[in-house]
Amino acid sequence: MYNLVGALVHFVGPQNKTTGANSAVSAKTAVRVRRAARFARTRMRELRMIVKALASTKHPILVHIIPMRRCNLACTYCNEFDDVSTAVPLDEMKRRLDLLADMGTSIITISGGEPLLHPEIDEVIRHIRRRGIIAGMITNGFFLNQERIKRLNRAGLEHLQISIDNVTPDEVSKKSLKTLDGRLEMLAQHAVFQVNINSVLGSGVKNPEDALQIAHRAVELGFTSTVGIIHDNNGQLKPLGEREQSIFEEIMELGKRSFSRFNEFQHNVARGREHNWRCRSGSRYLYICERGLVHWCSQQRGYPGIPLSQYSPEMRHREYSTEKFCAPRCTVSCVQQVGILDNWRDPQNLKPMPMDPAPQAPELVQIGPAGDIQ
Ligand code: SF4
Ligand code: SF4
């Protein structure tokens, strides 16, 4: 910490004295300093989050919350969007965030649909931070521009993830390096929050080499890089081919700066092997849909499907001890990362509460990056 302060003084001093022609350099330096400071603060808070998670099993570690189901894109593999829904009103979002804060939640990641379509998303982020929670967001990046990035900086965003599916747009996905590269450069210049670029591998991905190109570009721009594996419409395993597996391993190597070094289970996923872990969704991980209902995860929507306001500590405790039938072949990496903190303790011996089965999606879906907990 002392060294960091020293570094800040070192950088900020010269910057204050610069004028005229070198003001662009000075602005860049200012962004770097603010980024380093926010990074250090976030890492400290993440460390506290881990200590708290190891000390107690009574609070959620990670929550994904949906402020808006609508999306400006329509990736053909996706079952997580519509093109009609409206934004959840800010007051209602704040009420849900307060309920999560009162449960002791450590990290909230805003997801969608496309969260940047929400007209008051800055205020949603601000409220997460006001309640002392680490704030992240997953976006397709299409609405990012310089002004928007600066607003996210001011709101206090700490993590941002963009998924890029291919190098050039095709009929499956427009989330391409070609369409997004300019925005990535803007992020590299102006964002003071951490940026992770997630690429994908698996069935439906035409050119596996694209994932490697995307990962290298991410690292070149100073971002972390992760890779997600296409799974079926219940979040279940799809083994990779030989070439895809070696690309996967290469990207995992590149991603060693991030939490991905803890992602041993992803190697099982890549090989199509079942893995042995305890899914603590409904307890340590919550997925809150736009209607304010709690679900196990994005791929098991419908379980338990209880309004957040009625979701009691007893229900969370029950889910903590409930064995999930989908765990051995699960590919939802963020929940598996959360699981690492509890896998060593408390075997699960309860069965899921009787419920209607979750609705089935018509297409393959991909959500699970092999990277940061976001
Ligand atoms: S994958 Fe993301 S960008 Fe594509 S349709 Fe789904 S929510 Fe929208
Ligand atoms: S094991 Fe957990 S995270 Fe994976 S699909 Fe099932 S409920 Fe979702």
pLDDT in the model for residue 236: 61
- Model pLDDT for residues 65-75, shown as the tens digit of each residue: 999 999 999 99
pLDDT: which is higher, 335 or 1: 335
Asked whether 71 lines ligand 1 (CB < 6 A), one says yes
Residue 287 lies in a domain: no
Residue 281 lies in a domain: no
pLDDT in the model for residue 288: 98
Asked whether 263 lines ligand 1 (CB < 6 A), one says no
Residue 347 lies in a domain: no
- Model pLDDT for residues 156-203, shown as the tens digit of each residue: 999 999 999 999 999 989 999 999 999 999 999 999 999 999 998 876
pLDDT in the model for residue 6: 37
Q: Give residue 36 CA to ligand 2 midpoint distance, Å.
A: 35
pLDDT in the model for residue 333: 86
- Count structural domains, the chain: 1
Asked whether 180 lines ligand 1 (CB < 6 A), one says no
The span from the CA of 199 to the CA of 211, in Å, is 5
Residue 292 lies in a domain: no
pLDDT: which is higher, 46 or 237: 46
pLDDT in the model for residue 72: 97
Residue 191: domain span: 2-8+26-271
- Model pLDDT for residues 46-61, shown as the tens digit of each residue: 999 999 999 999 999 9
pLDDT in the model for residue 365: 38
Residues 297-318: what's their mean pLDDT? 94
Q: Which residues line ligand 2 (CB under 6 A)?
A: 235, 279, 281, 296-297, 299-300, 324, 326-327, 330, 332, 335
- The answer to which of 21-35, 61-75, 262-276, 358-372 has the lowest mean pLDDT is 358-372
Q: Give residue 127 CA to ligand 1 midpoint distance, Å.
A: 25
Residue nearest ligand 2's atom 4 by CA:
330
pLDDT in the model for residue 262: 53
Asked whether 172 lines ligand 1 (CB < 6 A), one says no
Whether residue 228 has a cis bond before it, omega within 30° of 0: no
Check pLDDT > 90 for residue 362. no
Regarding pTM above 0.85, the answer is yes
Asked if 195 and 162 count as a contact pair (C-beta separation under 8 A), the reply is yes
Residue 334 lies in a domain: no
Check pLDDT > 70 for residue 119. yes
Residue 96 lies in a domain: yes
pLDDT in the model for residue 247: 87
> Domain containing 33 — which CATH number?
3.20.20.70
pLDDT in the model for residue 204: 67
- Model pLDDT for residues 259-303, shown as the tens digit of each residue: 444 566 777 777 778 888 999 999 999 999 999 999 999 989 988
Residue 95 lies in a domain: yes
Residue 202 lies in a domain: yes
Ligand 1: which of 140, 164, 171, 175 to mutate, most ligand atoms within 8 Å of CB?
140
Residues 251-264: what's their mean pLDDT? 62
pLDDT in the model for residue 370: 36
